[in-house]
Chains A and B, each alone.
Chain A
């Protein structure tokens, strides 16, 4: 393969192969080899210049269509909010439930965006975390034109306008949020759990569930040590790592879970677990013996964010839809279905009114929602909630091994 490192050869291979298009098979092989030879190009993105953002948006026009890629069950089955958008704006939509996991979605999107091609989606929803950070760092997101987001400006809660991972909402605006705290099964745990120490309590040996995600578990290790994850240092990570390792070695942890923790805790396989608020709330509504608390030491809040990926065909239409979802009535309709934390605080009053008018089962469910700190955290609740640490690439290379060596031993 020595000729692969001849620069002239490389140039030849990496230039557009228009003449070879006729030989698709040959083209495929050549492309693969070119890929092998030149490695993966870095694409570190500089912060956007105001002029460039303006230029970009001034060249865009409304196309009358939009493709929205979201997580499953994040939209009522009748898609009423989207239908309303269509009838009000004349923009036709395609709604695709194609995102199942941030890491996997990024793994699929990365080669496409790296090659400068379009994902085929105009709006994508991603959780704040490593992958979203990579999307931003690699310049895969279109900087938003906030002059076209009046509803967001008017209706979004303050905390949702200023997020550490995307200051000034340059690239993203929230779709919905959720809280990471502790869930426990009331059939097996008779005490009221209030402290994060319950997760480290030998009393629950083999009955504790922790999350496998490095960020999530690191946060809880640090909160247990009284460290604010947002302001943590490398030394804090190491200490948290030691605490979590001791917890594992003592046999307290049964397993490092993905979302399957919720089944495990509601069935009683585990009794106490790190948990996401919406999951637990849905189980409660179903009458299962699970309870959710934000530990007194603190919990974390995460957000699923809407963004426009680079190369999107219909950015103007996408921006209109993103803003449309910030109309309080629309946000209320969404939240009633999603049952996580909405970024629009006005929703609580709307649901309250709706509950007053409703009857029977609906009324009961709506009242439960309005009163739930899992859907509408109070000021005091918010004060206890931390966000994920924002890591540089270099920090990531230290951070990940510390916690992965615990969850993946």
Chain B
């Protein structure tokens, strides 16, 4: 990550930098603000089925977190699907991103078009047409078909992100490595991959977020496998149980912990 070094000299605009720093945090807070409500209502001592007005503090829902077995299963299903589909998507999407960004080949235009088409297909249409396909191929709907669908709609996002990175890379670096006697695989591992890594990581995060959040497509191809969003949507009709808020809180909490640990480790490395 040669370009990852920070500016050593800051000629002008320290104030501007501070302002941007504060702005970035403002955006992070804005994006997270609904999460605060979600966390709060995980502590709500609600009496009825609906959980929309504050009725006192309790830790009850944390104790009863896994009482609703279907909900627990749904969360597990979601995590399994998200991890599996993200891994597949990152691998094949990065490969495609490299091909599109770096190489000229027959079918490049068509491929670009398909990548675009996959993003622009309305989710409902994608879900319904995939279901027809699976049905006519007699493929049972379960976690596998969910993974297939999730790879399909997140593939383009990874590809486009990686491609945007690859396109701006200097091919002469790879040539240099080759000239210095590196093998094709060695060049890829030592030069290309580190250079595109930020794109791959970003794409991976997007794929994970898309997968764990998806409702429409999943609802068509899930068969009788229920994922987290599917379960929640279902319970909206009669009131979402606070355990859902607790699980959301835990997902968010674990995420924050990872981020903090990462930041601390980074600080250690620097000093």
Residue numbers of A with Cβ under 8 A of B are 24, 27-28, 31-32, 34-35, 71-74, 77, 96-100, 104, 107-108, 111-112, 114-115, 117, 120-121, 259-260, 262-263, 266-267, 278, 282-283, 285-288
Contact = CB atoms under 8 A, between A and B. Distances in A.
A100 B237 contact: yes
Given A77-B68, A104-B219, A111-B131, A286 B235 contact: no
Contact of A24 (B128, B136, B137, B237): B137
A286 B70 CA distance: 25
A77 B67 contact: yes
A59 B53 CA distance: 54
A339 to B, nearest CB: 8
B48 A285 contact: yes
A100 B234 contact: yes
Contacts of A73: 49, 235, 237-239
A283 B237 contact: no
Given A72-B235, A77-B67, A115 B50 contact: no
Nearest to A276: B237
Contacts of B48: 282-283, 285-286
Given A111-B135, A286-B53, A287-B47, 16 more contacts: A24-B137, A28-B137, A32-B137, A71-B238, A73-B49, A73-B235, A73-B238, A96-B224, A97-B231, A97-B235, A100-B219, A100-B237, A107-B128, A108-B220, A120-B223, A259-B236
Interface residues of B, number: 34
B199 to A, nearest CB: 30
Contact of A286 (B47, B219, B223): B47
B237 A259 contact: yes
Interface string B110-150: 00000000000000000010011101111100000000000
Contacts of A259: 236-237
A71 to B, nearest CB: 6
Interface string B229-243: 011011111110000
Given A28-B133, A35-B136, A96-B224, A282 B238 contact: yes
Contacts of A262: 50
Given A77-B68, A283-B48, A97 B133 contact: no
